[in-house]
Structure 1
Amino acid sequence: MPVKIRLQRHGKKGKPFYYVVAADSRAKRDGKFLEKLGTYNPNHNPAIIDLNVDASVEWLNNGAQPTDTAKTILSTKGVLLKKHLQGGVKKGALTEEQAEEKFQAWLAEKEAAIQAKKDGLSSEQAAAKAKQLEAEKAVNEARIAAAKEAEEALLAEAKAAEEATNAENASEEEVKEEAAE
């Protein structure tokens, strides 16, 4: 029975979510599987991968063949590195402790890279938010300035109308005074 490590699709249309499974290669894509090894969620940035490394290595040692996408996921989580290091232990090139130490150092380096990407994304989001806030402030200031100008124009018109009525009243009074003389 040829065994493949592959992805089994779940989730809504347009929002995929995958199980990483060891399955008979003749089984349907979303059909029966032998063991669920983990999950893969590409909807986040960076993608969320939860994988049982030891079970995956065991399946690889027993002859399971990963598909291209599954191989990339296994490589990302260090399963292929751990299998490689175990081969070195079997040949006597490394001790078990040295292999585990190398694997843990690689995991720490990988986690630092992932954290750096998350920090970069969050700083980009913060910068975009600050830029949007500045644009909104500029629009609000322009609105306030336009409202002040309109208010000043109305006040100037009111003063001009008041002065005109005062001038008319004054000229009427002068006409009355002249007529009274």
Structure 2
Amino acid sequence: MPVKIRLQRHGKKGKPFYWIVAADARSKRDGKYLEKLGIYNPNTNPATVELNIDGAVTWLQNGAQPTDTARAILSYKGALLKNHLAGGVRKGALTEDQAEAKFNAWLDDKGSKVVAKTDGLAKAQADAKSKALEAEKAVNEARAAAAVVVEEVAEETEVVGETVEDVVEETPEASVEKTEDVVEETPEKKEEA
């Protein structure tokens, strides 16, 4: 029975979540599997990967073939390296202690890289937030300056408005008489027609 180490999709539309499984190559993508080896969540940054390394190595030693994506994940978590070192121990090139020491050194190095990336992402996010805050402060200051200008213009128009009102107050009767003449003329013209 050909066995593959592959991803089994779960999660909702647009938010995939995968199980890493050892399954018969003839079974459906999301169908029956032999063993669940871990999970892979690409929605987080960096992607979350939990893997049973010893279980994956056991399946690799028994002939299971990983798919391309599963191979990348196994390499990322060190399962392929551990399988390679186990092959060296079987051939007598390494002792068990040497293989374990190399694997642990690799894990420490990989862990420091992941932590550095996470810290870098957190710093970039904090920088972006501070830049957005500065931009918002600049916009608020511009709005305040514009409000001051509008108030000054309003004060100037009030001075001009007072002079216009003075002119209108001096001649209100003339404008009222003109409107009454217009109103009186229109009904007469309608009766004549």
What TM-score do the two structures reach when normalised by structure 1?
0.85
Counterpart check, 1:45 vs 2:45: yes
Q: Counterpart of 1:76 in 2: which secondary structure? A: helix
Counterpart check, 1:116 vs 2:126: no
- Aligned residue in 1 for 2:187: none
Aligned partners of 1:50, 1:149: CA distance in 2, in Å?
60
Counterpart check, 1:97 vs 2:97: yes
Of stretches 30-39 and 145-154 in structure 1, the one that deviates more from structure 2 is 145-154
Counterpart check, 1:15 vs 2:20: no
- Aligned residue in 2 for 1:79: 79
Aligned partners of 1:69, 1:157: CA distance in 2, in Å?
71
TM-superposed CA distance for 1:157, in Å, is 4.6
- The 5 Å alignment of 1:19-34 reads 19-34=19-34
Counterpart check, 1:2 vs 2:10: no
Aligned partners of 1:38, 1:164: CA distance in 2, in Å?
82
Moved over 4 A (4+): 156-165
Change (3 A) 1:25 1:159: same
Q: Which runs of 5+ in 1 are unaligned?
A: 166-181
TM-superposed CA distance for 1:26, in Å, is 0.8
- Aligned residue in 1 for 2:88: 88
% identity of equivalent residues: 67
What TM-score do the two structures reach when normalised by structure 2?
0.80
Q: Which runs of 5+ in 2 are unaligned?
A: 166-193
The Cα offsets for residues 62-89 of structure 1, whole Å up to 9 and x where unpaired, read as 1111111111110000000000111111
TM-superposed CA distance for 1:164, in Å, is 10
Q: Counterpart of 2:17 in 1: which secondary structure? A: strand
Aligned partners of 1:76, 1:10: CA distance in 2, in Å?
21
RMSD: 1.8
TM-superposed CA distance for 1:162, in Å, is 7.6
Matched residue count:
165
Q: Counterpart of 2:45 in 1: which secondary structure? A: coil
Aligned partners of 1:31, 1:137: CA distance in 2, in Å?
55
Aligned partners of 2:77, 2:26: CA distance in 1, in Å?
26
Structure with larger Rg: 2
- Aligned residue in 1 for 2:69: 69
